[in-house]
Structures are given as C-alpha cells and as structure tokens.
C-alpha cells in the first residue's frame, strides 16, 4: 500500500532511541524528509549515522521540557525542511510520582510543539499531528500514577486540538503503545533486573510477549498518512490486547 508520504516534511521528537527511532526509520523508508530532535547529541548523531543512506534526515538537540528549546526546534525544522506537514510528538518524562515534571514535558512540551508547528502548516489534507500516548492513560498504574495522569491528559489535549483545527483540514490523533521492549528501555531493564515484574507483564498480555518499536511505528506512519484521512481526535491503542476494559 502506497501511503503517499514521499517528500512529506516530518518532525519527530525523541527520535534517537526506541519508538521514536523506529518512527524516524519508517518515515524515511516512505520517502519523507525528516527533522528529528532529542536531548542527547550523541544519540542523535548515532541515529543519523545509522540512517545516512535511508533518506533525508536532519537533527538538532532539544529539551521538550524547555519552552524556548521547543520553539527553537520548530523554527529550525520549518526553515530546514521548507515547511511542516506532519508532527510526531513522541516524548515522556517517565515520572512515577512528579506531576510537575510530567506536565512540563508531556503536556506543556507537546502543546508548545504542536501550536508552534500549526503556525507553519498549510491547510491541506496531508497536514496532521500524531502524539504518542500510552495504555497507562486508559488504566490505573499503581506504581506510576503521575505518568498515567499525564498520558490521559495527552489524549484530552489531542481531542481538543483536533476540534480546533478540523476546519483547516488538519488532523490530530494519538497512538497509545502498550508495553514495548527495546534495548535501553524500561522493559529491557525489567527483563534484566526485575524478573517478577517482567514475567507478570508477559502473562497479562494475550500474546504472551511485549511489542516492538517497529510495530508502533507502522501504526503511527499509517495514521499520519492520507490513507487515514477521516481519522481525527482518535486514540489508537496498540497493546496486543492487554487493556481489558472497554475504551470510552
């Protein structure tokens, strides 16, 4: 299926590792032109080197918890790419119990990114935003209440922003991963250092496995494409069926 993403100008935050890195790779494979950011300069450079032959990829260090840093990244990306078509807000403070940190990065950071990019977006069917949420926003997490709260706030932000920009023809959606395994990530650490938690999480998933970053990236790329042109204000759970309750 041709997703029609060739030459689309795409911003990806948190693009140096895990889900963000897989999203960058997926858009490059579709022929998109990508500007990514992350806090780690070395991580950005490593990813850029790995993907050097994959397509047009630019990178800049940015901290989504710093409003000035976010605005500078959006301005730079718009100038570098000659405009913006698609924004992937992939960011998380992963704070277990600090609402201030979670708000600054996941909520305020995403809102600053999105609003800045919307000013540079044209009013056309290909223009859209995808936020990366979490299944934690749909369920209770005993050991990460703040994380669950601001991921729920991300979904609310998406739904409200989608209503604000629908008349411009711009779509805004959320893709919420379940438990995703990649080296250097939370679940790789649990696999190596907290066998009880890791095995318990495996048992809770109907597939008896965790997801991969590529499985999330494939859904994100589709949602951002014109093949999903009638989808906006949606929250798509990609969790292997691990969320048992009815999503409202």
Q: In what order do the strands lie in the sheet with 86-89?
A: 57-61, 33-38, 9-13, 86-89, 128-132, 171-177, 235-238
Rounded Cα distance between 15 and 10, Å, is: 12
For the purposes of burial, counting CB atoms within 10 Å of the CB of 159, is it exposed (0-12), middle (13-18) or buried (19 or more)?
Answer: middle
Residue where the block lists tokens 């991300």: 154
- Give tens-digit pLDDT for 92-106: 877 657 788 888 999
Please list the ranges in the chain whose pLDDT falls under 70: 95-96, 245-248
* 131: its two tokens: 């936020």
From 2, 1, 18, 3, select the one nearest 126 (Cα to Cα). Answer: 3
Q: Which among 103, 147, 150, 198 is annotated as catalytic?
A: 147
Which CATH code fits 9-181+214-235? 3.40.50.720
The pLDDT of residue 93 is 75
Contact call for residues 57 and 28 (beta carbons, < 8 A): yes
Q: Where are the domains of the chain?
A: 9-181+214-235
The pLDDT of residue 245 is 64
Tell me, yes or no, if 147 is annotated catalytic.
yes
The pLDDT of residue 157 is 96
């Amino acid at each position: 299926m041709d997703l029609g993403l060739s030459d689309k100008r795409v911003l990806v935050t948190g693009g140096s590792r895990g889900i963000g890195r897989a999203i960058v790779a997926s858009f490059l494979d579709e022929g998109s032109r990508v500007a990514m950011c992350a806090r780690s300069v070395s991580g950005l450079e490593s990813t850029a080197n790995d993907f050097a032959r994959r397509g047009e990829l630019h990178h800049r260090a940015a901290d989504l918890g710093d409003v000035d840093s976010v605005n500078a990244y959006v301005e730079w990306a718009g100038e570098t790419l000659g405009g913006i078509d698609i924004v992937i807000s992939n960011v998380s403070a992963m704070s277990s119990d600090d609402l201030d940190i979670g708000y600054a990065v996941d909520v305020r950071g995403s809102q600053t990114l999105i609003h800045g990019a919307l000013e540079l977006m044209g009013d056309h069917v290909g223009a859209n935003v995808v936020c990366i949420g979490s299944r934690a926003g749909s369920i209770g997490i005993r050991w990460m209440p703040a994380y669950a709260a601001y991921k729920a706030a991300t979904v609310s932000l998406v739904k409200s922003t989608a209503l604000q920009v629908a008349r411009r023809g711009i779509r805004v959606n959320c893709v919420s991963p379940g438990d995703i395994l990649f080296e250097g990530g939370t679940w790789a650490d649990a696999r190596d250092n907290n066998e009880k938690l890791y095995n318990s999480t495996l048992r809770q998933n109907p597939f008896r496995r965790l997801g991969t970053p590529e499985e999330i990236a494939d859904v994100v790329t589709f949602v951002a494409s014109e093949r999903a042109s009638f989808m906006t204000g949606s929250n798509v759970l990609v969790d292997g069926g691990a969320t048992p309750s009815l999503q409202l």
